[in-house]
Amino acid sequence: MAEFDLVIRNAQVVRPASDAPERLDVAVKDGKFAAFEPSIDSERAAETVDAAGKHLFPGVVDVHQHWGIYNELGEDTSSESQASAQGGVTTGITYIRTGAYYMNRTGPYREVFPDVLAAAEGRSFIDYAFHVAPILKEHIDEIPDLIGEFGVPSFKIFMFYGSHGLHGRSSDQSSFLMIPEDESYDLAHFEFVMRGIEKARRDPRFAADRENISLSLHCETAEIMRAYTKLVEQEGKLTGLEAYSASRPPHSEGLAITIASYLAHETELPKINLLHLTSRKAIEAAMMMQETFPHIDFRREVTVGHLLADFTTANLGGKVNPPLRSREDVESLWEHLLAGHFSWVTSDHACCRDETKFGEPREDVFVAKSGFGGTEYLLAGMVSEGRKRGLSYPRIAELVAKSPAERFGLRGKGDLVVGYDADFCLLDDTVDYTVHAQDSLSTQEYTPFEGFGLTAKVTDTWVRGTEVLRAEKIVGTPTGRFVKRSGLA
């Protein structure tokens, strides 16, 4: 009987904590990493794969996805998990909430969340988990059950939802969020959500989960955006993505970050994640808040989309919240990334098909839906653009795998360590190609990255030792598992 199930030979192994890639062989047994050695005899393994000098990265942990936002959740779980594997992603965490889109229903999570799990079960090619947004007042009381029973220790607040339309114009938010007339989704609700999470953190039942219980915030200010949307549309001087950026200006992010940070201080909630920061003003506000409240464990997220594209280089499919910004903002994000001010990079993947994405007239950015896919370009994009700027491969591995896995309680994932899940991918950095939507495994028919040039590509992906992508093609059947991240002690 073979000692190992699988050996990958002749790989450039990229460990997050290392100084540089190492030429090593990698062994897998029972879905776990079993050995990293300079040379492993192929006779010791049931199967041997020659990496031919490609870089072996830890499986990407994409902690910001939106399966099911515009399409049925089970359908998205299948197609978008394939797109994830195409990008070297082996674990994805999807945001879920009640209200319009997603499950298109309201009610307590004790009723909604089991249906979320049932819709995704048996359909994913990668491992997956969920973040949950407390929308209703009763959801705050359900936080302990979500942590202990359902294995969900991470929560989200969408700061602009209370009084601004999801896609750029004001709308009836009580209808959109499906909240009762006597409830509101506003700063007071956000405060009570924070208090509810901190109360759970202090509950002795969750002592083992305490470091993984956190709150993520989408930081934009509804009042600012409402006024600027009206102004931009009335003036009519700007069009396309530049107009959308102006309608949701960078200082709207900065102000929301400041408010969120003070509320965290007031409620004594120390685990705060500031999501998809898009601008110089946003990251500067985040760093200012870190100095102001050093006792809060802030983590700061940036997306690959905001690092690769600006409002002049992307097509209208690049409409997203917060918006793509100017080239100046893109360069500022890279400066802060290289300075170590961002904690991880993610995709904010939200498959929005053409018929759903664009309104009438098609070129009107304000009638288009917000969000687009991009998980398939996460690692390739970071390598392609990052190495030109001096970002090392081990640092990239830390940003897309190790750091997000640790923050969100994905035990045994995100690193190349004996005993960890054998989640990994092979990346070829000797290629030169142009991005075309037709090459993506996502069901989204367009991409804002159309025509972009990349110099790296994931060719093969394994999830817990099982190959799901071989030579850029999906293989096998869905074997991805739902990962409980709390309540396990």
Domain ranges of the chain: 4-50, 59-410+431-452
Q: Is 391 exposed, middle or buried (0-12, 13-18, 19+ CB in 10 A)?
A: middle
* Helical segments of 339-472, H only: 354-357, 378-386, 393-397, 403-407
Q: What is the pLDDT of residues 94-126, one digit of tens each?
A: 999 999 999 999 999 999 999 999 999 999 999
pLDDT of residue 170: 45
For 196, counting Cβ atoms within 10 Å of its Cβ (0-12 exposed, 13-18 middle, 19+ buried), the class is buried
Largest CA distance in the chain: 74
The angle that helices 240-247 and 222-235 make with each other, rounded to 10 degrees, is 140
pLDDT band at 127 (very low <50, low <70, confident <90, very high): very high
* Angle at the Cα of 248 from the Cα atoms of 246 and 250, rounded to 5 degrees: 85
Mean pLDDT taken over the chain: 96
- The whole-number pLDDT of residue 1 equals 82
Q: Angle at the Cα of 290 (from 286 to 295), degrees rounded to 5?
A: 145
pLDDT digits (tens, 9 = 90+) for 454-489: 999 999 999 999 999 999 999 999 999 999 999 986
Beta-strand pair 424-428/297-303: unpaired
Task: Measure Cα distances from 83 to 86, 345, 442, 472 in Å.
Answer: 5, 17, 5, 11
Tens digit of pLDDT for each residue in 17-59? 899 999 999 999 999 999 999 999 999 999 999 999 999 999 9
221-255 per-position pLDDT tens digit: 999 999 999 999 999 999 999 999 999 999 999 99
> How many other CB atoms sit within 10 Å of the CB of residue 299?
20
Q: Which CATH architecture has domain 59-410+431-452?
A: Alpha-Beta Barrel (3.20)
Which region holds residue 135: left if phi is over 0, alpha if psi is between -120 and 50, else beta? alpha
Alpha carbon distance 376, 329 (integer Å): 23
Helix and strand tally (H, E) in the chain? 16, 19
Instruction: Write out the H or E segment, with its range, that includes residue 425.
Output: strand 424-428
The pLDDT, as a whole number, for residue 172 is 46
Express each pLDDT in 139-183 by its tens digit.
999 999 999 999 999 999 999 886 666 666 544 455 789 999 999
Residue 187 CA to residue 322 CA, distance in Å, equals 19
- The tokens describing 238, both together, are 């700007």
Q: d(Cα 350, Cα 333) in Å, to the nearest integer?
A: 22
What is the pLDDT at residue 169? Answer: 59
Q: What is the pLDDT, as a whole number, of residue 282?
A: 98
Interior/surface letters 364-382, b for 16+ CB within 10 angstroms, e for the rest: bbbebbbbbbbbbbbbbbb
Angle at CA of residue 477, ends 475 and 480, nearest 5°: 105
How many other C-beta atoms can be found within 10 angstroms of the C-beta atom of residue 72? 13
Q: Is the pLDDT of residue 383 over 50?
A: yes
Q: What percent of the chain has pLDDT over 70?
A: 97
Query: How far is the C-alpha of 310 from the C-alpha of 404, rounded, in Å?
Result: 25
Pick 4-50's CATH classification: 2.30.40.10, 1.10.600.10, 3.40.50.620, 2.60.40.180.
2.30.40.10
Assess whether pLDDT exceeds 50 at residue 423: yes
Burial of 313 (0-12, 13-18, 19+ CB in 10 A): middle
Q: Residue range 345-354: average pLDDT?
A: 98
pTM recorded for the entire structure: 0.97
Which tokens hold the place of 43?
């006779």
